[in-house]
Every structure is written in C-alpha cells, then in structure tokens.
Amino acid sequence: MEISMKINGAEVTHDVEPRTLLVHFVRENAGLRGTHWGCDTSNCGACVLWVDGTPTKSCTMLAASAAGHDITTVEGLEKDGKLDPIQQGFIECHGLQCGFCTPGMLMTGRWILDNNPKPSEEEIREGISGQLCRCTGYKNIVDSIHWAADHPAENEVSA
C-alpha cells in the first residue's frame, strides 16, 4: 500500500507492505538511520521518535498507522546548522557512550523539556524510564537533560 507521511517536515511517500513497522519505514524507506531498534518488545526505547510531537516507540507502530501524521526523528533536532540544546547537553555532560540509545533519549529529553522546562531529577528519571541505556547508568543522561534545561535556545519560550 502507498503510504505518505511528513518526516522532519518533508513529505515521504513509499509503497510498502501493510505490515511494515514504522521504524523500518523511517530507516529503510526514508533512509533515516538515526532511529534504532534494540529489543522487539517495546522495552528498550532505542526506536523512539515523535508522532505528532509525542514520543512513540516506532517498533510498535505500523507505518500504515503513521500515514498522514507528522514524524520527527533525531535528524530533525538540528535547526539551521545549530544543534538543539538537548544535543549539546549530551555532548557537554558525556550523556552517551556507544550512542545506540542516544537518538531515543534525545527525543524524549527534548519532549520532557518542552512540557516541563525545569524538571527535577526525579521527573527526568521518570521521563526516560522507558528507555534502556547499557553504558551510562543514566546519571549523565539526567545531567545532560538538566544542562539543556539550563541552556535553552534563544528561540525557546522561557517558561
């Protein structure tokens, strides 16, 4: 079936099997390989991207269900050649090692801050609790999201 969706603002159309998972559509059809997958069982969150601005595990959604919706992936975070503060925060605070969980963590981190510009440590920990990281023990991820909270981009509305 032919499926169209907006990915990072651009319309993407492909003819795929109805069973195609959104993560595969994004990776294989749209060629955006920043979104990963790690578990098959909706536990790990390596595949998190946004559907209409809401973080979603894209291994547990059919591409067909995403048709007509707005998808944002890690590739969509950088604007006008400038990293989003959440990306910068992960660099500053050593919030990643192997980098495999990072795209999903970034998408959720950005979403946490969009909804709660000054989150507590507990709120951040709760917010990323559906995403597994095997390298960092989460401490530096929490710090990275805090860093981004403390360094909002100029165009961010301060709340």
Partner 1 sequence: MQTPAPVDYVRATSVADALSLLQQHGDEARLLAGGHSLLPMMKLRLARPEILVDINDLDELRGIRIDGNEIVVGAMVTHAEILNSPILFEHYPIFREAEKVIADPIVRNKGTMGGSMCQADPAEDLSAVGAALRGTVVIQNAEGRRTVAMREFHEGPYETKVADGEILVEVRYPILPGSGSAYEKVERRSGDWAVCAAGACVTISGGVFSSVGIGIGAVNAEHFTAVDAEAFLVGKEPTAENIATAAQMAADSCDPSADQRGPADYKKHLAMELTKRALTRAAAAAKGA
Partner 2 sequence: MTAVQEVPISAGGNPIGFGSMKRVEDQRFVRGQGNYVDDVNLPGMLHSAILRSPWAHARIKSIDTSAALALPGVIAVLTGKDLEGIPRPSLLGDNFAWMPTLSYDTQAVLATDKVRFQGQEVAYVIAESRYIAKDAVELIDVDYEPLEPVMDAKRAMDPGAPVIRDDKGQTDNSITDVHGHKTWESGNAISTAEAIARAEADPNCVVVTQEVMYPRVHPAPMETCGSVAHLDKVTGQLTLYTTSQAPHAHRTVYAMVAGLPEQKIRVIAPDIGGGFGNKVGVYPGYVLSILGTIVTGKPVKWIEDRGENLMSTSFARDYHMTGKIAATKDGKILAVDVDVLADHGAFNGVAQPTNYPAGFFHIFSGSYDYPDAHCKVTPVYTNKAPGGVAYACSFRITEAVYVIERLVDCLAAELGMDPAELRLKNLLKPDQFPYTSPTGWVYDSGQYEKTMRVAMEIAGYDELRREQAEKRARGEYMGIGISFFTEGVGAGPRKDMDILGLGMADGIELRVHPTGKAVLRLSVMSQGQGHETTYAQIVAHELGIPPEDIDVVNGDTDQTPFGLGTYGSRSMPVSGAAAAIVSRKVKERARIVAAAALECSPDDLEWELGRWSVKGDKERGKTIQEIALLSHSSLELPEGVEGHLDATAVYNPPNLTYPYGAYICVVDVDPGTGVVKVRRFIAVDDCGTRVNPMLVDGQVHGGIADGIGMALMELIAFDTDGNNLGGSFMDYLLPTSMECPSFELGETVTPSPHHPIGAKGVGESATVGSPAAVVNAVMDALAPFGVRHADMPLTPSNVWRAIQGNPIRVDMAIE
Residues that bind partner 1 (CB under 8 A): 1, 17-19, 21, 24, 37, 40-43, 45, 48, 54-57, 59-62, 64-65, 108, 126-127, 129-131
CB of 78 to partner 1, least distance (A): 22
User: What's the CA gap between 159 and 156, in Å, rounded?
Assistant: 9
User: What's the CA gap between 124 and 112, in Å, rounded?
Assistant: 7
CB of 121 to partner 2, least distance (A): 7
Residue 92 near residue 51, CB atoms below 8 Å: no
Tokens standing for residue 50: 């946004």
User: Which of the listed partners (partner 1, partner 2, none) does 148 bind, with a CB threshold of 5 to 8 Å by partner kind?
Assistant: none
CB of 95 to partner 2, least distance (A): 9
Among 73, 111, 146, 147, binds partner 2 (CB under 8 A): 73
Tokens standing for residue 21: 């998972």
Q: Using the rule CB under 8 A, is 157 a contact of partner 2?
A: no
CB of 22 to partner 1, least distance (A): 10
Q: Using the rule CB under 8 A, is 33 a contact of partner 2?
A: yes
User: What's the CA gap between 58 and 152, in Å, rounded?
Assistant: 27
Per CB under 8 A, which region of 61-69, 90-98, 110-118, 149-157 contacts partner 2? 90-98
Q: Between helices 102-115 and 139-150, what is the axis angle to 10°?
A: 40
Q: Using the rule CB under 8 A, is 12 a contact of partner 2?
A: no
Q: Half-sphere exposure of 71 toward its Cβ, with a 13 Å CA cutoff?
A: 33
